[in-house]
Homo-oligomer: A and B are copies of this chain.
Amino acid sequence: MPTVNPPRGMRDFLPADKARRERVLAVIRERYRAHGFDEIETPVVEDYDRLHAGIGGDNEKLAFAVLKRGLDADAIRAAAEAPAGLSDLGLRYDLTVPLARFYASHRADLPSVFRSIQIAPVWRAERPQKGRYRQFVQCDIDIIGDASARAEAELVVASLDTLDALGLEGGSIRINDRRVLDALLDGFGFSADERPGVLITIDKLDKIGPDGVVAELEGRGVTPTAVAAFGAFLRRPQTLEYLPFGAAQIRKALPDGIADELVGHLVGIGDAVAAARGGGDIPLVFDPFLVRGMGYYTGTIFELAHPSVDYSLGGGGRYDGMIGRFLGQQVPAVGFSIGFERIVDLVAAAEDAGTRALVLVHDRDVPVAELVALKTALIADGARVRLEQRTKNLKPMLERASADGYTAFATVAAGATVDGLEFKPLA
């Protein structure tokens, strides 16, 4: 008999956890819908070739493949030299590749600017470790068909509003633009070939600091004069002068020579977010060294920060090139993925207030029809009701009910009526 545990790196969710997850998802879904996003769904599996078309980055290597059906012994033997022949489908590793396929398939039935919500699990065969799972839920919003700063502003405003609605007020967005990064690296004298490796190192700036970055770049053997220029810029003396988000702050954080158009796009996002939030500080922070891993980003990139944690709660960016690969026609696109698995751990476990959740503890001799009638009458009156047969020691049973969100209990003897029940609080 195999183990009764879930497969390696995957999780079962018991009632209390599942209820909290569904509550958080309901808030996210409702808020994103209010902001004009429409939810779609695609199958859990996609064609193997599509998942391995080179746009999934490192995730492609982590994809679970689904075995082709009806393979005979000869076909299996032939696949020994070409293992891709064993699979025609695979489990999706993100929601962006399926979205691009969906858009290419259904474009004629979608608004010209399409704002999508996707809330669904993805699978990656990562080495299991604390906080990293082989099946986890992603919550993505994407805007396809709008190249303007309005798209980024709508994503940012919707995501911060959702975070507020979850009781996580005070979130902010670190923002950058891949083209700013490219211009910056060009300016220091790195070659285009050196960029991907240099970005991997820069991505560690928060962790290893300027000296660590310079040391790692020297180890990489990239253009030494570029490393020196970059190091000097990182270590330049800075006055700790507070500047609100805007052109002045962005210019101050960059060397000279970054195009006005790039700065203008970022400022446009900031202006729109400021207008939407109705004054006060703009919850945006320009970070010229924000990298984001995915290779497909082409413009704005952002990450969601919250004062309660030192890791990001989500992120996204512009990927104007990807949809075009499926469609044969360029279409601008920008997306934001809220880190559901991280956020759900931060949200209080409070049961929906207002619902009466009652446990009826009954003696063994109460007739079934009486019990079911009592239960149904309380449900019709708006309550949530669990029946429990009396045990010698009530305490463990009542504690479990409390953990599952029940708030009061009454004992039931034969002949009891709804009006005669006396409820006592559980906690």
* A contact residues vs B (CB 8 Å cutoff): 1-7, 10-15, 18-19, 21-22, 26, 29, 33-36, 38-47, 49-50, 64-67, 69, 71, 73-74, 76-77, 79-81, 83, 86-87, 89, 91, 101-102, 104-106, 109-113, 115, 121, 123, 125, 135, 148-150, 153-154, 157, 161, 268, 271-278, 326, 368-373, 375-376, 379, 383-389, 391, 397, 400-401, 404
Contact = CB atoms under 8 A, between A and B. Distances in A.
Give the number of copies in the complex.
Answer: 2
Nearest to A62: B69
Contacts of A112: 388-389, 391, 397
B12 A102 contact: yes
A73 B80 contact: yes
Given A36-B387, A45-B7, A83 B76 contact: yes
Contacts of A46: 6-7
B69 A66 contact: no
A405 to B, nearest CB: 8
A101 B4 contact: yes
Given A15-B40, A77-B80, A153-B369, 20 more contacts: A2-B50, A4-B104, A5-B105, A6-B42, A13-B41, A22-B29, A34-B385, A36-B384, A44-B121, A44-B123, A65-B67, A76-B86, A110-B400, A112-B388, A112-B389, A153-B368, A271-B368, A273-B372, A274-B369, A277-B376
Contacts of A73: 80-81
A18 B43 contact: no
Contacts of A87: 67
A38 B49 CA distance: 40
Contacts of A104: 4
Contacts of A21: 41
A275 B418 CA distance: 13
B4 A326 contact: yes
Contacts of A74: 80
A388 B112 CA distance: 8
A267 to B, nearest CB: 10
Interface centre among A67, A91, A161 (most CB of B within 10 A): A67
A150 B36 contact: no
A86 B67 contact: yes
Interface centre among A79, A157, A274, A369 (most CB of B within 10 A): A369
Contact of A47 (B2, B66, B278, B389): B2
Contacts of A2: 47, 49-50
